[in-house]
Amino acid sequence: MDELEKQLKTLKNISPDASFASISRAAILHTTRTDRIHIASVGNLIKNLGLSLSVTAAAVLIIVIISSIKAADPVGSAVVRFGTIENEAESVRQDINIALKEIDSFNEADKKTAFALTEAANNGPAHLNISVLNMELKNIKEVELMEKDEINLMLERAAF
């Protein structure tokens, strides 16, 4: 025991070389606290990432096992499939009804468009015909000649 104490006392008096001490001191003073925290946080991040990957893998494995057990149940899955088929059939029927309504709407619009095109082809540019314009102007003048009372009476009839 005494010998150990002697060795420790001699080691206590050991000092580093002056150049090594100055280089070490400069390196220590040059590093900042944030550098050390950053290095520590990267290490923590790697540890936490490994832990979260392990937990995620375990959760996925449990979900796969549970879903495979449920898929192995033939009676329960048949009932679920029958209900799903009914729901799917109802959905398809509603989609078909919507499509039929759209087709009817398009047919009606096509008929109106065809009628308008036929009228335009037969009459030509009637909106530019001077006789049509003069007739419209005559109608406008007739309305201007009406008395205010008649116009008010017509508006009241139209409103009620």
Classify residue 9: in a domain, yes or no: no
Classify residue 105: in a domain, yes or no: yes
Q: How many domains does the chain have?
A: 3
Q: Identify the domain boundary among 54, 70, 86.
A: 70
Cα angle value 55/56/59 (rounded, 5°): 85
Classify residue 104: in a domain, yes or no: yes
Domain that holds residue 97: 73-124
Q: Helix, strand or coil for residue 90?
A: helix
Which is higher by pLDDT, 9 or 75?
Answer: 9
Q: 74-131 pLDDT, tens per residue?
A: 555 555 566 678 888 888 889 888 888 888 888 888 888 888 788 777 766 666 677 7
Q: 30-52 pLDDT, tens per residue?
A: 776 655 555 556 666 666 677 77
Angle between helices 74-123 and 33-71 (to 10 degrees): 100
Classify residue 147: in a domain, yes or no: yes
110 and 147 in a single domain? The answer is no
Give CA 42 to chain center in angstroms: 33
pTM (two decimals): 0.28
Classify residue 59: in a domain, yes or no: yes
109 and 148 in a single domain? The answer is no
Classify residue 102: in a domain, yes or no: yes
Classify residue 82: in a domain, yes or no: yes
Q: Identify the domain boundary among 32, 55, 70.
A: 70
Report pLDDT for 65: 86
47 and 59 in a single domain? The answer is yes
Q: Identify the domain boundary among 70, 85, 111.
A: 70
Decide if pLDDT at 151 tops 80. no
DSSP secondary structure, 23-66, as one string: HHHHHHHHS-HHHHHHHHHHHHHHHHHHHHHHHHHHHHHHHHHH
